[in-house]
Structures are given as structure tokens and as C-alpha cells.
A and B are shown apart, each in its own frame.
Chain A
Amino acid sequence: MNIDYYAILGVAYNATPEEIKQAYFQLARQYHPDVNPEMADSEEFLAIQQAHDILSNPSRRREYDLSLPPEWRTGAEISLNIKYSRSVIGAIDEPQLMYVLLDAFCTANIDEKASPPCHFCLILDRSTSMQGARMDMVKASAFKLIQQLRPKDLISVVAFSDRAEVVIPPSRAADLSKSDARLNLIACSGGTEILQGLLLGVEQLRQGGSAFTRHIILLTDGDTYGDGQHCLELAQTAAQTGISISVLGIGPDWNDELMDALSSRAGGNAMFISSTRDLDQYIHRKVNDLGSIYARGLQFQFTSSPEVQLRYAFRMNPDTAPLPLFDTLPLGDIVYQKNLGILLEFLIQPLNAHSDRITLARGAISMDLPGGGEHKARLMVDLARDVQVGQVDESPPAVLIEALSRLTLYRMQEKVQQEVKAGEYDHATRRLQNLATHLLAQGEKELAHTVLLEAEHLQRSQNFSSEGDKRIKYGTRAFLLPAITEQHL
């Protein structure tokens, strides 16, 4: 049996000596008995020590590497396709934009058996407002979820209002009955404190063990009070331990901004649920995706030239979501036979002719490869372009234009939301009308109609109608999806 020293240090197999040293220092600070006296059993620390001894010594590392199973050494079998909006950057004395589309695809053969079992944790809002039809819908979907799981998968269910309780502790899907009484007994009352639910949910996933692909599905219909910041922090720490989160919002009152931020930090996305069909479809797809996962927890850590700033990042596929602009960009997961599409917008400050090459983003995408024994891998990425004197007049690749034509509509919607907040109703109305025109031109009649109605409503009452803003937001976002998927059919 091999001991995976790389996993102990949490580095990839092609890690540089510098990275190994850094990882070692970081862990040593955390686990050293002097720093942390309550960590009575210092086995962890000894393992770290040993891992460092071997990996920091070039000849011992080589010897150790040869003893590893070959699939661990090959690294990630992912092809990364990069499209730039322009092949060179013009040296001009005004700021300019550059778009980059990253398209990652797993080239490995599907190995369903090797993909690890999943552990789903449903966190259900049982506040008073969920009573009746909403709760019934959620329960029905939960049962469908249980039926869809493979025998090796785990499920746990947590319900929360102002406090949270475990409804079903981590259990094998096979051991649950098709109409588990515990789910049926959830009664609705009280407020909405999402943090309580999340804390208990994360605990369930930890109890289940880290051998699983762990995912939280949070269902809520209300805004949480005062604990938003804590929720975000929790999502971040959960993501670091490989837990991903998706949020399904029901009705008009949930806080879409917070839930977008929360889920995208943890590699997932938020969705607006307007019907049972939406809910069932989303859960069905999510279970399928996570069941055939190739790489999870992709994080893009990068540095840029001083003139360059990442201004916008969006996951176009498979789970559309705006990404938080952190130094380390959480990209999500890679599923077999599905592309991961990320669109980046870089702002480049005025350039002088002295620089001849600009680095937009150079770094590595790190990920966990759960198949065939958990291990880490890393994909080097260097997004850079040459600088050319004067303006650049060339056409961007058609793929990029297609992707952006859709994303532009989504961003128009974002602007409308901002304008409504700032009280600029005329601007917002006009922009909505523009948006409707574009949607109509692209054949999205139903969504265009919703947008037009909303424009009228906005003009009349100077506010969004109930659900209207969310319908448009998630409608335009859903509309982004076919742009990339269809190309590969």
C-alpha cells in the first residue's frame, strides 16, 4: 500500500520544490505540537514531517515517484482550449479590454466505477413561509432524489428555521424507504437563519467522511438575517475541504445576491425555482453530474502583469454563474463528457511600447482527482499576448462572439438591477426594452415577453414586480447555456 505523501502535503505530483516547501511550512505551522498543544496525537505532524523529508530530497523523491501507480503520475487528462478576443494587444494610450474563453474538457475514458460515491446533503428551509405547496414540492423532490441515488451514495437531510436539526443522518440511499416518514414529518414554523442550517449540513458531510464527492443542496425561500457574512465564510472553508454548494431559491423573497456569492465560492451555482419541474430537473442533472465527476474543486491561482486586472469572470458551462473575483478563482468541477467553459474579461491599462508581452494571467489550476484513489493534480496556464504598436483591427473568433452576445444580455440585466437600486427608473426601463428586443431577435419570445412586462411594471410602479427581477436574471442566465454546449454536438 502506498502512502501518498503528496496528498499529505496537499500538493500536485508535478509540484516544484518551492511549492513543497511552502506547503510544508504552512502545515507545520498548523500542526506543530508547540503551536498546537491540544493536538495531542502528533501522528499528523509526523506524517507531514516524513512527507517533507522524502519529497524535498530530489533523489528520494525520484525513487518514491517510481513506486507510485502510473495513473497518479500522468496528472490530469484535461485538454484546455483557450480563445482570445485578439491575437495581439495594441500599445495604445487608453484602457482596453481583452476577453479570454477557457474551455476545459476531460480526455480520459469514462470510468463510472472509479468515480467516487456521492454524499448529498439536503438543507431544507422549514420557515413558516415554506408551509403548504412549497414544502410539499420540496419533499416530493427529495424522494425523487433518494430514488435516483446509486446504492453506494449517501444522503443526509437537515431542516432549519431559526435553529437547525438533523432529519436524516448520513445514510445509504439503499437503506432508506421510498417514503421515509422522517421527511414527511418536517413541520414548518419560524424564521430563516441559513447559517444554522449550513453549519449542521457541513457537519453531516464531515461525519460521512471525505471519500465521497460531497455536495450541499440548499433550498430556501427567504432572506437570512444578519448572518450573511458568516455564511460566506463558512462556504469558503467548506469549499477548501472539497464541499460544493448549490442553492435553489423558491419564490420572490430569497436573497439572490448573497446566494450567488455563497454558491459560487463553493464551486456551485444558485437557481431560481418557479415550478416542480425546475426543481426536479436541476436535482436530476446535479446527481448525474456529480456521479460522473472527473475532477473537483478546480481553483485557478494566478498573477497578472501590473497593467492587467481581471474585471469579470463567468462560468458559462455547465452551471452558469458569475465567479467571485478572488486571487484564487473557484472554477467548479469537471464532469466526464461535459465542457467547463469560463469567460474572463481583463482590463488593460494604457500601455507604452516598451513592454512587448503582457501576462493576463499566469498560474495553475489545481484540482482533486477522486478516481482511482484521491490525488491532486495541477494544470499550468499561461494567458499572455504579444504587444503590437498601434490599434489592432481584427475580428475575434466566432465562438467568443457567440458566448459574449449572450453574456452581454445577462450583464444588461445586471445593470438594470443596479439602476433600479439607484432609482434611475427611466434608464432601467429603456434598457429592459433593449434587452427584450435582443431576446426577441434571438427567438426567446417568452423571456422577451417577461422582460417587456417588467419594463411596463417598472415604469408604472418604479419597482420590480414580485419575482420579476429573479425571473429575468435566471432566465437570461439559463439562456447563456446553449451557446457553448451546442458547439460540441
Chain B
Amino acid sequence: MIDCPNCHHQEMVGSLFCSECGAKLVTADLPTTQNISAMGATGQSISARGVDTLSFQIRAKPASHHVTEPRAAPHDVALSLRLMESGKGIELTGQTEFTIGRVAEGQLILPDVDLSEFQAYGQGVSRLHATLKVNNQRVFITDLGSSNGTRINGQKIMPNIDFPLNHGDMIALGKFKMQILFHK
């Protein structure tokens, strides 16, 4: 069985799309490079043929398949976030798990990454919105049941379920957009 990375529905071997949520379970027969510019190029060639970028939103292979992405997450993976609106970068180091959100008055648990200075409230970021995890050389994001949801490359993810990330993926917390970058 294949485990859908989006909704964890069990699909038969050989399925190309999840019958439950419609997420794509396989990679296209095109080079799936991990860097951003190459991704843009492939995206273009696809949309020229009348297909939108949906095909590239879930590029993670199902868990039962052996992962062979060469540059998925190098050994000493370090993460950084690039905030799309301000262009500012935030380095994430020293931990394997980071909560992202904003600090508000009277809040007991504070997020590791505070976005309140970037008009996070107005763009619909929850106080504890999502978690980034580095596990086994892979990077995952988990929506913590936020009010406005989390989207990866435009695709809404299920709350409280780990979703694998690739270098250059676009994360939207509510309307707040940022890009995840992996460094060696």
C-alpha cells in the first residue's frame, strides 16, 4: 500500500493520485531537480502544455518507496526562511524542531520563530501556527490546527499531519508567504 503524504489514506500500489484528497503520489517523468530556478523552468514547460503547477506541489515520494532524491536534505541540514514580502531571511539553527507563530499579549507558550513584527496578525498567522521538524535528514512541516491553515506551494495541508518539504517550497501561513531553504 502507498501512504498518501497529504491525508494518509492508503492507496493501492500503482496509484498515481490519492483517491481521497486528489494529491499526486508520483513524480512526473521529468527531471525533478531541487533548486528553485530549475523548478521554475520545468513549471513553465509544463504550463505551456496546458497543465498548471499542481503537478509540482506534492513532489514527495510515498513512504513505501525508497527515497532517492539526491539533494533532498544533506547530512547537516540547516534551514532558513525567506520572507517573501520583506525579503528578509531567518536562520533556523540549534534545534531540530521550530514552532512558527506570533507573540501576542498574555500568551503562555511562545513560538520559536516570532513573525509579529512582519504584520503577521493582519495576514492571518495564528499564535502557534505550524512546526518545522528535521527528522532523519528530511524536513517536515505540521500545521498546528491554525485558524487560516497552511499551504505548501498553494496546496492546503491537513492539520496535525507531517508534510514533507523540499528545498525552495513556498509556505503560506494564512496569507503570510515565505520560502524554505536548505543549506549544507
Contacts and interface: CB of A to CB of B under 8 A. Distances in A.
Contact of B65 (A393, A408, A443): A393
B51 A405 contact: yes
B26 A396 contact: yes
Nearest to A411: B19
Contacts of A348: 14
B57 A441 contact: yes
B54 A398 contact: no
A396 B17 CA distance: 12
B50 A482 contact: yes
A432 to B, nearest CB: 11
Nearest to B50: A486
A463 interface: no
B13 interface: yes
Interface string B47-90: 00111111101000000111000000000000000000000000
A401 B156 CA distance: 21
A404 B24 CA distance: 10
Interface residues of B, number: 32
Interface string B145-184: 0000000001110000000000000000000000000000
A409 B50 contact: no
A402 B51 CA distance: 7
B13 A396 contact: no
Nearest to B61: A393
A412 B17 CA distance: 11
Contacts of A96: 12-14
B134 interface: no
A156 interface: no
B13 A398 contact: no
A160 B163 CA distance: 57
A486 B27 CA distance: 22
A487 B53 CA distance: 17
A69 interface: no
A412 B20 CA distance: 7
A434 B49 contact: no
Interface string A365-407: 0000000000000000000000000010101111011101100
Contacts of B24: 401, 405
Contact of A437 (B1, B19, B156): B156
Nearest to A442: B52
A95 B28 contact: no
Interface residues of A, number: 40
A160 B41 CA distance: 57
A400 B29 CA distance: 10
A97 interface: yes
Given A96-B12, A96-B14, A404-B16, A398 B50 contact: no
B52 A92 contact: no
A431 B30 CA distance: 29
A92 B65 CA distance: 14
B93 to A, nearest CB: 33
Interface string A90-101: 101011111100
Contact of B13 (A94, A411, A415, A437): A94
Question: Chain B interface secondary structure, helix, strand, loop or mixed?
Answer: loop
A437 to B, nearest CB: 5
Contact of B29 (A391, A398, A412, A482): A398
A487 B27 CA distance: 20
Given A391-B13, A393-B66, A438 B22 contact: yes
B28 A398 contact: yes
A400 B51 CA distance: 12
Contacts of A437: 155-156
B51 A97 contact: no
B21 interface: yes
A433 to B, nearest CB: 8
B50 A408 contact: no
B96 interface: no
Given A395-B26, A405-B55, A442-B52, A400 B16 contact: yes
Interface string B22-53: 10101111100000000000000000011111
B13 A97 contact: yes
A397 B12 CA distance: 19
B15 interface: yes
B14 A435 contact: no
Nearest to A395: B29
A486 B50 CA distance: 7
Contacts of A395: 26-29
Given A395-B26, A398-B30, A408 B154 contact: no
Nearest to B27: A395
A487 B49 contact: yes
A139 interface: no
A310 interface: no
Contacts of A284: none
Contacts of A415: 19
B152 to A, nearest CB: 11
B14 A85 contact: yes
A134 to B, nearest CB: 34
B27 to A, nearest CB: 5
A478 interface: no
Contacts of A393: 65-66
26 contacts: A86-B14, A94-B12, A95-B12, A96-B14, A99-B16, A391-B64, A395-B29, A396-B16, A396-B26, A398-B29, A401-B29, A401-B55, A402-B51, A405-B24, A408-B19, A409-B22, A411-B19, A412-B19, A434-B22, A435-B22, A437-B155, A438-B54, A441-B154, A443-B52, A482-B50, A483-B50
Nearest 5 Cβ contacts at the A-B interface:
A97-B14, A96-B13, A408-B17, A96-B14, A486-B50
Interface of B: 1, 12-22, 24, 26-30, 49-55, 57, 64-66, 154-156
Given A396-B29, A405-B54, 15 more contacts: A94-B12, A96-B14, A97-B12, A99-B16, A393-B65, A395-B26, A396-B26, A400-B16, A401-B29, A402-B51, A405-B51, A435-B22, A438-B22, A441-B154, A486-B49
Interface of A: 85-86, 90, 92, 94-99, 347-348, 391, 393, 395-398, 400-402, 404-405, 408-409, 411-412, 415, 431, 434-435, 437-438, 441-443, 482-483, 486-487
